Structure 1
């Protein structure tokens, strides 16, 4: 077991485009000392220059899948040279529950080096195992798929 923490800090200030409401900008301080400028999504009067919680959730799922994939690939003697994912999450209305990120589509592009290269079936098994063992995917209700 491990614990993970973040500190969120917000101070009232006027919204830059609508003085009748407040700014959604805030800062997340992570345990490693990193500061992340955050806001609501633009659709909810947020700042496009900041990360929004939905982007952070999608990033967490994609990052967890990648890190799990890399660990499994290494254990199976595959040498991953690069990994890029353009993940997309969908915020949708859920009947009786309001809005939710209902699905996340991962689109990893991976290059391998060395003599041991996975075929399509092995690559599919690697992704299935990564998905099954991803801590973040196991923690959410959204459907996560590799497209």
Structure 2
């Protein structure tokens, strides 16, 4: 078993609070020392109380799923003797209303583009690698969001 930590910090500063006119910008600090500027999406909280340049929790969620899948794909490809030169994914998460006043990311689509050194594996082998990566991905195993991989076509 392992643990993973993040410290989330926010300060009001001199802004008012009870009227909702305060910045939601905050920081995520991770155990390795990285600091990330975070904010709600401007689609959820309008500017100036959000920061479009910061990472919002929903896009971080999609990125975490994509990153986890990629890391497992690379590991499994290496185990099979395949050499991956590049991996890029334009992942998309869809926010859906799931009940009155409640929304959730109900679908994440991964669209990886992979460049292999030498002769690339066939489509069936790449699909099998994606299925195995999905089965092993810690994040995918932790969520109930539907996660699909769409190969470029």
Query: TM-score, normalized by length of structure 1?
Result: 0.92
| Structure 1 unaligned regions, length at least 5 | none
The aligned counterpart of 1:77 is 81
Alpha-carbon spacing, 1:122–1:43, altered in 2? closer, same or farther (3 Å):
same
| Structure 2 unaligned regions, length at least 5 | none
Runs of 4+ in structure 1 off by over 3 angstroms are: none
CA shift at 1:114, angstroms? 3.0
**Could you tell which deviates more after superposition, 23-32 or 90-99?**
90-99
Query: TM-score, normalized by length of structure 2?
Result: 0.88
**Could you tell which deviates more after superposition, 26-35 or 97-106?**
97-106
In angstroms, what is the RMSD of aligned CA positions?
Answer: 1.6
Alignment partners' CA distance in 1, 2:100 and 2:80 = 44
Deviations 1:94-122 (A, max 9, x none): 1368210101000000000035x310100
Alignment partners' CA distance in 1, 2:88 and 2:27 = 27
Alignment partners' CA distance in 2, 1:64 and 1:20 = 36
The aligned counterpart of 1:50 is 54
What SS class does the counterpart of residue 37 from structure 1 fall into? strand
Aligned length: 143
Show the 5 A alignment for 1:1-147: 1-13=1-13, 14=15, 20-45=20-45, 46-95=50-99, 98-115=102-119, 117-147=120-150
